Structure 1
Amino acid sequence: MGSLSAISEELADLDGKIADILRALSNGFQKLDKIKDSNRRSRQLEDLTEKMRECKSLIKEFDREIKNVECNPDTTKMLSDKKQSMIKELNSYVALKKQYASNLENKRLDLFDGTAEGFAEDNNALLASTMTNQQLMDRGNEMMDDTDQAIERSKKVVHETINVGTETAAALKAQTEQMSKIVNELDSIHFSLKKASKLVKEIGRQVATDRCIMAFLVLIVIGVIAIIIVKIVNPNNTSIPDIPGLAPPAPSRRLLWE
């Protein structure tokens, strides 16, 4: 513990508490072998179980403290080995406790079963000794009737189980068919969406082409209108060819004798 005090006072304190509990567990299990009464042994096991819970909690605190302490790799390995040693010793006591608890439970069951069987055998022997042959036959017939009724009830339960299984299978089949229809409908919808998308793209391309043609026609009309306006304003402009119907009137000719 002196070396742990040099590292951390908290680690040293936890190490001392864990060592005390492990020592108490060792002494407790040694005393447990000397206890004959089952009730006292059960209480002793409960006390030891509580000590093991406390020891487990302290080991967790010890592990957290190791992570918080800054030290060299050798010291860290020494602390980790010490923690593993504590865990190993605690696990040995846990296994020992399970063994004692299992033995105690088996003894209780054996005692209970033995008492019940003995009572049942004594009761049956007493009844059989006081019955006449006719009563024994009647009793046997009653037991056979009870057995037949139990078998019929079992058959009924089996039949009902089969019916439930059949109904469940039919419901599952119907649900499977419905799911298949839904999948087919989804496929059809997906195909329709793809076809509609393709059609929309084609319409878009056609509209774009029509817009280009319309724009070209508008440009032509604007050009023609511009030429007409220029010709009307300046009819003597020779840089623009004459447009039929808009050419200026030809000068009148005079005869020679005039």
Structure 2
Amino acid sequence: MKKLTMRITKLFFGLFLYATGIVLTINANIGLSPWDVFHQGLSNTVGITMGQANIIGGFAIIIYNAFAGEKIGWGTISNMIFIGIFVDILMLNRLIPVFHNIILQIVMMGLGMLVIGAATYFYISVGLGSGPRDGLMIALTKKTNKSVRFIRSCIEITVVVLGSLLGGSFGIGTLIMAFAMGPCVQFVFKLFKFNVKGVKHRFIDEDIKYIKDRFILKNNRDNKVDCEDL
């Protein structure tokens, strides 16, 4: 129980950090990240918050990933729901300032990317499944047999185009994050000496099987034994 509590705490700390990093890059005000261009476009079109747009986008992606055969973890579901909630809490309460000095804006964007890198380490290292968008990248890589770099680039170009058509804004910061986010995440992973390939994830279907074996089948066996005794 103590180990599980620590894992859940680490997961939600990572999700809150991720939301903080997202808001830092948004409030830097020199261009949204590719996915946030789409989220903003969806937000403006439907009349919802950025956080709600994040949740809706994540939900749609999880459905696709499930049909594509990608396993879903509790961390995946938590990522979908709580990052959006935390983004709204931070933005609607204006807990992170907006800067207008270009130097401070660039520093803020760089800090946001590093925070997202640290957040990625925290939530992936608990081994409860990757985020919906990472799962989409993996699913498309398997289906097309193309490189991860190619698939990620295609996804980000697609969401920027769709987001722009929906009214999302992009700028120099969008290009910076498209090229610099990966190296920032990799830098943080090296800092924590974290090998993402060494993480063994536990997925929801495994927990369902455990519950079924532990309780349902056990009860059936016990009932069978009782009937035989009678």
Band of TM-score, shorter chain: under 0.3
* Greater helix fraction, Structure 1 or Structure 2: 1
Higher-RCO chain (CA-CA 8 Å, sequence separation at least 6): 2
TM-score, normalization by structure 2: 0.27
Larger radius of gyration: 1
